[in-house]
Amino acid sequence: MSRRLQGRAVVPGRAEGVALVCRQPLSLWGGFNPRTGEIVDRRHEQSGQVATGRVLVLPRTKGSSTGSACLLESIRSGTAPAAIITAEVDAIVALGSIVADELYGRCVPAVALDAEAFASLRDGDVIAVAPDGTVTIGEPPC
């Protein structure tokens, strides 16, 4: 049984992956290593987790304005999340992804959900995002 949520396609695209859910905001510079895809903010709940290929569920980014550069570099080097779902439109995420699209013709799809829909996502959910901003949650793998 799957369920669907309607979000706003901030950077439209199609992707699928296993959710890595953060309840706390994260700085993508200083909190995320674009060479390894690891969350390296040692104060963060998901410190040590690798976001590569996951659907990164993040209320919003915080901290450094270099976050967009780290997202761009991770897209270039193949360590980026498959998609990023936020609880509000996040300009740092949108920017890193849009510049990657302009420069390399590939991006990380970004979707913004409302607070209630965002809160319903769970770590390990199998999530697909569609270009119209639809988020589909499938059964987690056994």
Partner 1 sequence: MSSDIAMTVRLSQRDEEMLAGRHGAGARLAMSVVARMADACGADELMDITAAHIDGCGLLSDAGLEFAETLAAGGARARVPTTLNMGPLDLQHWRDWSIDEAFAAKAIRQGKAYADMGCVPTWTCAPYQGYLTPRFGQQIAWGESNAVVYANSVLGARTNRYGDYMDICAAVTGRVPRLGLHLDENRRGQVLVRLRGFGSGDFDRETFYPALGHLLGPLAGEKVPVIEGLPPVVSDDRLKALGAAAASSGSVALFHAVGLTPEAPTLQAALHGRAAERTVDVAPADLAAAWADLSTAGEDDDLDAVLLGCPHFSFAEFRELAEHIARAGGKARADVIVISSTQSWALAQRAGFDRVLAEFGARVTLDTCMFHTPMLGGEVRTVMTNSGKCAYYAPGELNRKVAFGSLADCVRSAMLGRVRREEQP
Name, in order, each residue with C-beta under 8 angstroms of 114's C-beta and a sequence gap of 6 or more: 7, 87
According to DSSP, residue 70 is labeled H
Site residues for partner 1, window 63-122 (CB under 8 A)? 63-70, 72-73, 75-77, 88-89, 91-92, 94-96, 98-105, 110
- Count of residues that bind partner 1 according to CB under 8 A: 45
Q: Which of 4, 19, 14, 18 is nearest to 86 (CA)?
A: 19
Please say which residue, 16 or 30, places its beta carbon nearer to partner 1: 30
Please say which residue, 76 or 126, places its beta carbon nearer to partner 1: 76
Binding residue for partner 1, selected from 25, 36, 50, 136, defined by CB under 8 A: 25
Which residue is catalytic, options 27, 64, 74, 120? 64
Is residue 74 annotated as part of the catalytic site, yes or no? no
Binding residue for partner 1, selected from 13, 17, 31, 53, defined by CB under 8 A: 31
Name, in order, each residue with C-beta under 8 angstroms of 87's C-beta and a sequence gap of 6 or more: 59, 60, 112, 113, 114, 115, 118
18 is a site residue for partner 1 (CB under 8 A): no
CA distance 112 to 33: 23
Binding residue for partner 1, selected from 15, 19, 21, 27, defined by CB under 8 A: 27
Name, in order, each residue with C-beta under 8 angstroms of 43's C-beta and a sequence gap of 6 or more: none
Strand partners, 8: 112
Binding positions for partner 1, rule: CB under 8 A? 10-11, 25, 27, 29-31, 34, 40-43, 47, 60-70, 72-73, 75-77, 88-89, 91-92, 94-96, 98-105, 110
Q: What residues are labeled active site?
A: 64
